[in-house]
Chains A and B, each alone.
Chain A
Amino acid sequence: MNPYKPFNVKIRDILTETEDKSLKTFTFEFASPEDEAAFDFTCGQFGMLSIPGVGEIPIGIASSPTEKPVVKFTVFKTGRVTTHLHNMKPGDFMGIRGPMGNGFPMGRMEKKNLLIIGGGFAFTTLRSLVEMILQPQNRDRFGTVDVIYGARTPGMLLYRDELEAWEKRSDINVHITVDGTDDPDWAYHTGFVPMVTESCAPKADGNTMAIVCGPPVMIKFTRPVLRDLGYGDEEILMSLENRMKCGIGMCGRCNIGQELVCGDGPVFTLAQLNRTPGEF
C-alpha cells in the first residue's frame, strides 16, 4: 500500500463561514465506498487535503464521525493550496489522505465533565467533538459540557447556525464571546477568551478536563486562568499544528523535541508539552 496516494473525493458543498470570506467549510464525499470505509476517523484527527498539481495541507477534521459518509474541513485561505481550494467549486474532484494523528483521548474523556475552549478558526476540531457528544447515543457518555468560543467579531464566528442551536439546548452551556462589536443587539459576551473563561468556566473538581484550541496568544493567557481555576497540567488537552509534508511520521519537520505532531499528536496534555522544548 502506498500511504502517499490520496483517496479520490468530490466537493459536495462549500459554505462561506465568515464575513471576510477567509474561511470556508468544504464538505467532501468519497468516490469509492472502500475509501470511505478506510477513512475511519475520530474527533481531533486531521487529514491531508491533496490537490494534484498544487500540493497538500494538513487540516483538522471539522465534522463528527456521526456525520458520515461526508467529511468536512474548515479552511482558512492563507497559502498556495488553501487559495487554490477556495477557488474550487462543488463537483470538483481532489484527494484526501488520512485520517492522521491521535485525536482526542476519548477513553480519558468519557464520564468526565468537559470544558471546551476555542478561539478563532482553531475551533474546527472542537466543533467535531461537540457535534459528536451532542448525538443522543453519545450524550450520556460525558458529564457536563461547557463551551467557550471567541472570535474577533460576530462576523468571524464559525458555525453560527449550530452555535445558536447549541445555545437553545439544556445539556450544554455555551459561552460565546467576541473581542469587540458595534452591534447594539449583540446578546453574548464581549471580551477575550481568557476573561470569559475566568468568569464562566467551572472550577476544576478532579473530574473535569479542559480542551483548549486557539491562537498562541489566547493559549498563553488562558493557561494561568485555568491554573487559578485549579486545573492540573494532566487535565488540560491542547491540539497543536506544525508544518507537515507526509503526515505519517517520516518527513521529519513537525517535531517538537522527540514528539511528532502528526503521529504523537496533534493532541497533547499540557503535562506532556511541558516536557518538550515547546517548538510549535
Chain B
Amino acid sequence: MNMIRVTKQAVATALAKASKSYAIAGPVKAGAGHEFRCLGQGQVPDLEYTHTRLSPKSLLFPQAEPMFHFKLPETTGEPGDTPPAFLEAESFKEAPLAVVGLRPWDARALDLLKLNFDSPDYTDPFFIKRYNAMVRVGLADIHPDPENFSLAAGSGPFDEASVDILLADAGDAFIGKVITGKGRDFAGAAGFEPGSPDDAKAFAALKAAAEKEADILPACDRINDADTLDLYHADFWEAAAFSCINCGACTFACPTCWCFDIQDEVNQGKGVRLRLWDSCMTDLYSAHASGHNPREKGFQRFRNRFMHKLKYFPDKYGAGIMCVGCGRCITQCPGGIDIREVMAAMNAAAATVQQEVSP
C-alpha cells in the first residue's frame, strides 16, 4: 500500500523538511477567508480551511504576468537606428512548487487549464513550466459544501485523478495515499510516515461518507448529444440571465476560466507587456475597434460563458465539462445565479428539442 500518515503536530516539521527541496504553497488565512499563497520559511498552510475565495489557478496562471520587457527607442525625433529590444521576462523560480492542501477538484481544474495552454500548435511557456514543476499534495474534502457538486462534474471530494498525494483529515492525523512518482518523492522529502492497513480502511470510510454527502445533481446527460444551435437558440437564456449584472465575479473565482487580456505598461522608456486575467462578462472583451460587438448584450455574454463551459468545451476536447463543481461562482454571484440551474435548463431544453424531432 502507498498509504502515508502525518500527525497534525508534525505537519509543520514535515513541510520544513520538504522546503529544502521544494517551494511550498498552500491555503492561508486572508481577510475573512482563505487564499492560496506561496509560503515563506516556517509558514504553515491552514489545513483546517473549508474553501478559498479564489482558486489555486493563480499559482500556474497569475493574475498579472510579465511576458517580456522592452526598451523604447530614444525619442530624439530621428528615426531610431536600433530596433527596440524585446527582452525575456525574468524566469521565475525553477524550484518545484509543492501545493499542499489543494482540493481534488481544484487540481482537476489545473489539468483542464492545460488543455488550453498546451495545444498541438502552441505551448504557453509560462504556464507549462510551472505545470510540469508542480507537485500537488491534495486534501480531500470530508464535508463538502452544499454548493459543491464536484462529483457530478467529473471530480469529487476524494478524486485521485489530478493529485500526486491525497491526504484526508482523520482527526489527530492526516492519512493519505501516494498516487504518483512525484508524490513519492515529496513524501520522502517531507518524511511522511508509512500508513497502516487500518489507515487504508479509515481512508476508504471517509471517502464513502463524503461521496454519500456530496450532491450528485445536476444531470447534464442530454447536453452532450444536443445540437449546439438548438441549445444556443433555446428560449430560456434571457430569463436565466435576468439577474446577471455581468460583474465577472464568477470568471475570476472560477478555477477553469482562463481568458486573458494583454496590456503594455511603460515607465521612463522601459516597458513590460503583461498578461492579465480578463472576463468574458465585459462588453470590451469582444468589442471590435469599429464599435461592432458580436456579444453586445449582457445575456449574450452570459450565454457564451455557459455554452463554453457546458457545450463548446466538451465538444472540442472530449474531456467533460469545463467546470469542476467547486461552487465558488454559486456562493459569490451577487445575482444569485446558480450554474446547476443553468445546467438543468440546458438539459431540459435539449430534452424538448429531442422530443420534438422524435416521432
Contacts and interface: CB of A to CB of B under 8 A. Distances in A.
Nearest to B315: A258
B185 interface: no
A6 B271 CA distance: 14
A246 B260 contact: yes
A78 to B, nearest CB: 5
A74 B36 CA distance: 47
B222 interface: no
B296 to A, nearest CB: 10
A2 B67 contact: yes
A78 B289 contact: yes
Interface residues of A, number: 49
Given A78-B289, A250-B122, A93 B259 contact: no
Interface stretch (A48-56, A169-177, A227-235): A48-56
Given A55-B264, A250-B117, A279 B294 contact: yes
A256 B308 CA distance: 10
Interface in B283-301: 285-290, 292, 294-295, 300
B293 to A, nearest CB: 8
A56 B275 CA distance: 13
A53 B264 contact: yes
B71 to A, nearest CB: 8
B336 to A, nearest CB: 25
Contacts of B229: 275, 277
A52 B125 CA distance: 20
| Most chain B CB inside 10 Å of its own CB: which residue of A89, A91, A243 | A243
A93 B80 contact: yes
Contacts, number: 139
Interface in B251-272: 258-264, 266, 271
Contact of B262 (A89, A245, A255, A263): A245
Contacts of A257: 228, 232, 307, 312
A2 B90 CA distance: 12
Interface string A253-280: 1111110000100000000000111011
B6 interface: no
Interface residues of B, number: 56
A57 to B, nearest CB: 8
B308 A94 contact: no
Nearest to B122: A248
A79 interface: yes
Interface in B310-338: 311-313, 315-316
Contact of B286 (A4, A52, A91, A242): A242
Contacts of A53: 70, 72, 264, 266, 271
B273 interface: yes
B88 A8 contact: no
Given A89-B79, A253-B286, A55 B263 contact: yes
B124 A250 contact: yes
A213 B288 CA distance: 17
Interface string A72-91: 00000011001000000111
A10 interface: yes
A13 interface: no
B94 interface: no
B232 A31 contact: no
Nearest to A240: B294
Given A250-B116, A252-B278, A253-B278, A52 B264 contact: yes
A198 interface: no
A23 to B, nearest CB: 14
Contacts of B288: 241-243
A32 B85 CA distance: 13
B73 interface: yes
A243 B285 CA distance: 8
A40 interface: no
A6 B228 CA distance: 36
A5 B66 CA distance: 11
B286 A251 contact: no
A93 B86 CA distance: 12
A118 interface: no
B260 A245 contact: yes
Nearest to B81: A91
Given A250-B122, A263-B121, A277-B228, A95 B289 contact: no
B259 A252 contact: yes
B307 to A, nearest CB: 7
5 contacts: A5-B88, A242-B286, A245-B261, A253-B278, A277-B307
7 closest cross-chain pairs (CB), A and B: A91-B79, A252-B259, A258-B312, A79-B289, A8-B83, A279-B294, A93-B83
Interface of B: 67-68, 70, 72-73, 79-84, 86, 88-89, 116-117, 119, 121-125, 228-229, 232, 258-264, 266, 271, 273, 275, 278, 280, 285-290, 292, 294-295, 300, 304, 307-308, 311-313, 315-316
Given A3-B125, A95-B84, 7 more contacts: A4-B67, A52-B273, A54-B264, A55-B264, A91-B79, A94-B84, A252-B260
